[in-house]
Chains A and B, each alone.
Chain A
């Protein structure tokens, strides 16, 4: 069964460093998303991406964040200068669309980012 994959599973970085989280969405999906979940809290939307551009972003997704689809398969989230409060589990998700109706979003296993 097709699935969303993410690498790395765990990333430890120092405050102020740049990190890139990688995702490979399901191959026939057209819509891509990033969410994050701070430990013990709810899942929060960061950004949605379609047709090589951002469709929507949340207040969390400030200038320190960027997304890219560098090739036909990868979808990346970059945090330019990490802060302690960026420590969280980051989930990538993808969904297909049919006639303008979005189907469910399939989530990857997540990348746990720890900023020290």
Chain B
């Protein structure tokens, strides 16, 4: 059974600072997704990482994937208040397509950015 662990679970940052959220998962997965969720809202897709070494950037967020280490990171650069939200990582699929489409979500990281 795929287990996904994010850390930290709570992150309080000052505006302008940098930080990284880590996502470890327990079994081989050929893709990984990052989602953002605002309170009471749905899940917004941020990044889709499809291969080992994949790196994607959008604004102040950059995500990377190391499938050998079973690790993905979400790096926040020069945080601003608008980034306050809960961030989830979700490995999807499995080796040989054994779990086609199913996403297994981490616990989520609640990010609060203070002025």
Contacts and interface: CB of A to CB of B under 8 A. Distances in A.
A112 B43 CA distance: 14
Interface residues of B, number: 25
Contacts, number: 62
Interface stretch (A11-19, A66-74, A77-85, A100-108): A100-108
A7 interface: no
Contacts of A100: 97
A45 B103 contact: yes
Given A42-B106, A102-B92, A107 B42 contact: yes
Given A42-B107, A42-B108, A104-B48, A33 B101 contact: yes
A43 B43 contact: yes
A28 B38 CA distance: 27
A75 interface: no
Contacts of A58: 102
A102 B93 contact: yes
Contacts of B41: 109
A48 interface: yes
A86 B90 CA distance: 23
Main secondary structure of the interface of A (DSSP, over half): strand
B40 to A, nearest CB: 9
Contact of A105 (B45, B88, B99, B104): B45
Given A56-B102, A105-B101, 15 more contacts: A31-B101, A33-B103, A42-B106, A44-B105, A45-B102, A58-B102, A91-B42, A93-B43, A95-B101, A100-B97, A102-B100, A104-B48, A105-B92, A107-B42, A107-B43
Interface of B: 31, 33, 35, 41-45, 48, 50, 88, 90, 92-93, 97, 99-108
